Structure 1
Amino acid sequence: MQDLTQRNRLSATVVLYHSGVEMLSCIQSFVDSDVYLDLYVVNNSPGDASLFTARWNCPGVHYYPVRRNIGYGRANNLIFPKLKSTYHVICNPDVTFAPDVLRRMIEVMDETGATILTPRVLNPDGTEQFLPRREPTIRRLLARRLNFSGARWQQLRSDYTLEGQNVNERMNVAFATGCFMMVRTHVIAQQLGGFDPNYFLYHEDSDLSRRVLANGGSILYTPDICVTHAWKRDSAHTFPATLHHLKSTIRYFNKWGWKW
C-alpha cells in the first residue's frame, strides 16, 4: 500500500523512445511502489499510445506524447517546470526495482542531504553492472568502449567503475548514471535548469554530475539499494547512436576540458 503521507515529496520521469513492451515492467515498478508519487512518462516516439493508456489510466501517472524525438535531456526538462516535489527520480524505461526502493532512497536523501543519490545497478541475472563512478577522461572512455586487452586497460576500466574495489559502504562519487538517479528537485530543476539541452543523447548525465559538483552539491552512491537494468548498448550497434555518442563526447570535453 502506498504511503500517502509522502504525497508531493516524490515525482519521477521516464522517457520512452520506441521502447515497446520493455517499459511495462518499469512503469509497473513505480505503480507498485510503497510511496505515492507523480510519474511523468514522456514519449519521444509518438504514435499509438494504447498499450500505455489502457494499462495505466490512473491517478498519479501522467502521459506526455511529443511530436518528434527531442532528445533525452530535453524530454526530461519538459517536466521540470511542473514539479512541486522535494525529490525527483530520473529513470530509463528498462529499469525495474522493488516496492521499497523509493522509500529507502527518500530516507537516505533526508538523512544525508545529498544532491543526487545513485544506487547499485544489477544485471537481470543478479550480477553487478559496473557503471562509471568517476568523471570521464579520454583514456577511461577508450578503455571502456573499445575493450582493449592488457592489464593497463583493465586497470583503467576498473578505476572508472570501481570494479574490484568491493564497495559496500556509502561513498561520494563523481558520476551518477542517468539510467536511475534520485535528485533534489529544487537544485536540479530550479537552480541548475535541468539537463544541458545541447546534449541530444549520451553524456547528459556526465555533464549534470559535473555541474552538481561545481555548484557545491554531492553525489552519493548507496550500494545497499539496488535496481535492475536490462541494459541495451544502442551506441555499440547502430551508426546513428554511435554518431550521437561521438558528438556528445566531443561536446563534453570541449565544455569541461580535454583530459587524457
Structure 2
Amino acid sequence: MQKISIVIVNYKTADLTIECVNSVIATSSDQFEIELIIFDNDSRDGSYERLSSLFPSVRIVALKKNIGFAAANNRGAEMATGDYVLFLNPDTVVLPGALEALWAFAQRRPEAGAWGGRTLFGDGALNPTSVSSFVTLRSTLYRALGLAFLFEKSPIFNPEVYPGWQRDTERDVDILFFCFVLVRLEIWRKLGGFDERFFMFCEDDDICWRMRELGLSRLFTPDACIVHHGGASTPDRADRIAMVLAARLLWIKLHWRPLPAMAARLTIQAGIFGRMLFDRITKWRRHKTGTWETVWANRNAWARAPKL
C-alpha cells in the first residue's frame, strides 16, 4: 500500500491546526496510508504543548526559532517516509473525499510534477487563490496602473488569476499554491525542496518554475476540495503585502534577466506609491493610517533589490 506523508507547519494557529489535523484523521482509505508530520515554527504560545497533548501518535517537532514557512516545510519533507508528500496549510479543512480524489488524480495523471485541488472559503464560496499564472512584466505593469483591479475579469489586464475560470475543470496551470499540493517524494528531493531564501510567500512560484524547467506540469482538479481560510499566520494586511512584495521581487531577480527585473522593481514601487497617494487623496480610513501608506512607509523592508 502506498503512503502519503502530510506536512503541516504551525505558527501561532493552534486552533486552526487542530481543526485541520482532525479533518485529516477523519480521512480513511484502503488505497493509501497517511503519515502526519507537524512542525511548530517557534510559536511560543503553547501551540506545541496543545498539539502534542491532543495528538500523541502524530510526529510533532518544536523548532527553537522561526525558520520560515519554506524551510520548515523542507524539514518536514526530510522526515517523510511516504511515496508522496502532501503540503497542507494549517488554516485548512480537508473535506470528505478530498485526499482520495487528489491521490486518484495523481495515479491517473502521473506525468505531472505536482497535483493540486480546489479551495473554498469558510462559507463555501470559491476561494480562487489555489492557482495562479506566472508574473510577467506586462502583468506587473497592469497591476501598478490599477488596470488589473479595474478590469479584474479581463484575461488581458488581470491574467495572473485566470479570470473567467471557476476552478471547475481539470487543467494544467503555472502555479499551484502549496496550501494543498501533492508531490511525489522522489521528485521533491530531486528538486531540492523549497528555496529557503524565500522566508514566506512565492516559494511555490519558485518551485513550480523549476518544475516547468524540468518539463513537469502542474495539474489542477476540482474533485479534490478543501476549505482554506487564508492569512491566519499573517493577519496584519500591511505586513502581509510587504512580505509578498519582497518575495515577489526576489523571485523576479532569481528568474528574470537583469533589465526586465529592474524594470519590474521600479514598476512595482511606482504602483505602491500611486496607491499610497490614492489612500491620502480619498482620505480612506480617516482615523488611522491607510494600508498602502503603511506599506510605502515600510518600503525599506521590501523595495530594495534583493541580495542573492
Partner of 1:15: 9
Taking the aligned partners of 1:231 and 1:152, their CA distance within structure 2 comes to: 20
Taking the aligned partners of 2:62 and 2:162, their CA distance within structure 1 comes to: 38
Q: Displacement, 1:21?
A: 0.9
- The answer to which of 44-53 and 197-206 deviates more is 44-53
Residues 138 and 28 of structure 1, relative CA distance in 2, 3 Å threshold: farther
Partner of 1:177: 177
Partner of 2:26: 32
Unaligned runs of 5+ in 1: none
Higher relative contact order (CA 8 A, sep 6+): 1
What are the equivalent positions in structure 2 for 1:158-237 lying under 5 Å apart?
A: 158-188=158-188, 190-232=189-231, 237=236
Partner of 2:249: 250
Q: 2:119 aligns with which of 101, 121, 136?
A: 121
CA contact (8 A) 2:155 2:162 kept: no
- The answer to which of 123-132 and 146-155 deviates more is 146-155
Taking the aligned partners of 2:202 and 2:225, their CA distance within structure 1 comes to: 22
Q: Which amino acid aligns with 1:121?
A: T
CA contact (8 A) 1:11 1:38 kept: yes
Q: Deviations over 1:65-84 (max 9, x none)?
A: 00010001100111222222
Q: Displacement, 1:16?
A: 0.8
Residues 53 and 118 of structure 1, relative CA distance in 2, 3 Å threshold: same
Taking the aligned partners of 2:105 and 2:134, their CA distance within structure 1 comes to: 23
CA contact (8 A) 1:236 1:242 kept: no
TM-score, structure 2 normalization: 0.74
Residues 124 and 208 of structure 1, relative CA distance in 2, 3 Å threshold: same
Q: Which amino acid aligns with 1:18?
A: K
Taking the aligned partners of 1:37 and 1:148, their CA distance within structure 2 comes to: 41
Taking the aligned partners of 1:222 and 1:143, their CA distance within structure 2 comes to: 29
Q: 1:111 aligns with which of 94, 108, 113?
A: 108
Q: Which amino acid aligns with 1:123?
A: F
**What is the percent sequence identity of the aligned residues?**
22
- The answer to which of 68-77 and 151-160 deviates more is 151-160
Q: Which amino acid aligns with 1:74?
A: A
Q: 1:78 aligns with which of 71, 75, 78?
A: 75
Unaligned runs of 5+ in 2: 265-308
Residues 43 and 128 of structure 1, relative CA distance in 2, 3 Å threshold: same
Residues 144 and 54 of structure 1, relative CA distance in 2, 3 Å threshold: farther
Partner of 2:128: 130
CA contact (8 A) 1:11 1:88 kept: yes
Residues 105 and 57 of structure 1, relative CA distance in 2, 3 Å threshold: same
Number of residue pairs matched by the alignment: 251
Matched, 1:64 2:61: yes
Q: Displacement, 1:154?
A: 5.2
Partner of 2:270: none
CA contact (8 A) 1:13 1:91 kept: yes
CA contact (8 A) 2:148 2:157 kept: no
Q: Deviations over 1:222-253 (max 9, x none)?
A: 01221110122766835544433222111100
Larger helix proportion, structure 1 or 2? 2
Residues 152 and 83 of structure 1, relative CA distance in 2, 3 Å threshold: closer
Q: Which amino acid aligns with 2:213?
A: A
Larger radius of gyration: 2
Q: Which amino acid aligns with 2:6?
A: A
Q: Deviations over 1:57-107 (max 9, x none)?
A: 12xx21010001000110011122222211111011001112421122111
Q: Deviations over 1:105-159 (max 9, x none)?
A: 1111111112211101111111111124211235546767979642378545753
Taking the aligned partners of 2:157 and 2:10, their CA distance within structure 1 comes to: 29
Is the partner of 2:116 in helix, strand or coil? strand
Residues 245 and 168 of structure 1, relative CA distance in 2, 3 Å threshold: closer
